[in-house]
């Protein structure tokens, strides 16, 4: 059986609002605002899920977990990531690596990266060394620079049999 690496990309963005907790990479980060969304709105986990689904040639996060379904109201995005990993296993695949970038003016992300890597790796059943998380600001430009939202991008490599 030949194995071929399939690559998927993911992107997500959510508005920052008062009255919500901020979850990024599965970590509750102290901040004055949180991300608005149907689930916990963890943009990093959502982008990684979309990248995995893309590598599999499947639909996006909304296909698997529609925001019209009350089951997913305030759901932890870890559930979505675990399902993405289950879909990889269903296709007899193996996640090779995750590379991601958080784009946020505030809060500072770097202190939280080690725990994020651990939580993402645990949810996906992979080693933390295969999870890359970078962070950047938007240099005070646009909605991210004005601290109105946070975005994330991810690329995932998945070995699939052919």
Question: Which residues are CB-neighbours of 82 under 8 A, at least 6 positions away?
Answer: 123, 124
Instruction: Specify the pTM.
Output: 0.96
Q: With beta carbons less than 8 A apart as the criterion, state whether 24 and 120 touch.
A: no
In this predicted model, what pLDDT tens digit does every residue of 99-131 receive, in sequence order? 999 999 999 999 999 999 999 999 999 999 999
In this predicted model, what pLDDT tens digit does every residue of 54-78 receive, in sequence order? 999 998 988 888 888 888 888 999 9
What tokens appear for 10 in the block?
A: 């993911």
- Ordered by start, the domain boundaries in the chain are 3-161
Q: With beta carbons less than 8 A apart as the criterion, state whether 10 and 54 touch.
A: yes
Please state, in angstroms and rounded to a whole number, the distance separating the CA atoms of residues 95 and 52: 8
Domain 3-161: CATH superfamily, name plus number: 2-C-methyl-D-erythritol 2,4-cyclodiphosphate synthase (3.30.1330.50)
In this predicted model, what pLDDT tens digit does every residue of 11-51 receive, in sequence order? 999 999 999 999 999 999 999 999 999 999 999 999 999 99
Q: Is the pLDDT of residue 162 over 80?
A: no
Averaged pLDDT score across all residues of the chain: 95
Rg (C-alpha) for the chain, rounded Å, is 15
């Amino acid at each position: 059986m030949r194995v071929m690496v399939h690559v998927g990309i993911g992107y997500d963005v959510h508005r920052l609002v008062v009255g919500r907790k901020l979850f990024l990479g599965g970590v509750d980060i102290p901040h004055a605002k949180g991300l608005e969304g149907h689930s916990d709105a963890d943009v990093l986990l959502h982008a990684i899920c979309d990248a995995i689904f893309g590598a599999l040639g499947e639909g996006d996060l909304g296909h698997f977990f529609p925001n019209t379904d009350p089951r997913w109201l305030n759901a932890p995005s870890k559930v979505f990531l675990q399902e993405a990993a289950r879909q990889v296993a269903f296709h007899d695949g193996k996640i090779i690596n995750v590379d991601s970038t958080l784009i946020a003016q505030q809060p500072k992300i770097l202190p939280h990266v080690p725990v994020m890597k651990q939580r993402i790796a645990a949810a996906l059943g992979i080693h933390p060394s295969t999870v890359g998380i970078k962070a950047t600001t938007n240099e005070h430009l646009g909605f991210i620079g004005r601290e109105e939202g946070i975005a994330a991008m991810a690329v995932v490599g998945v070995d699939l049999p052919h």
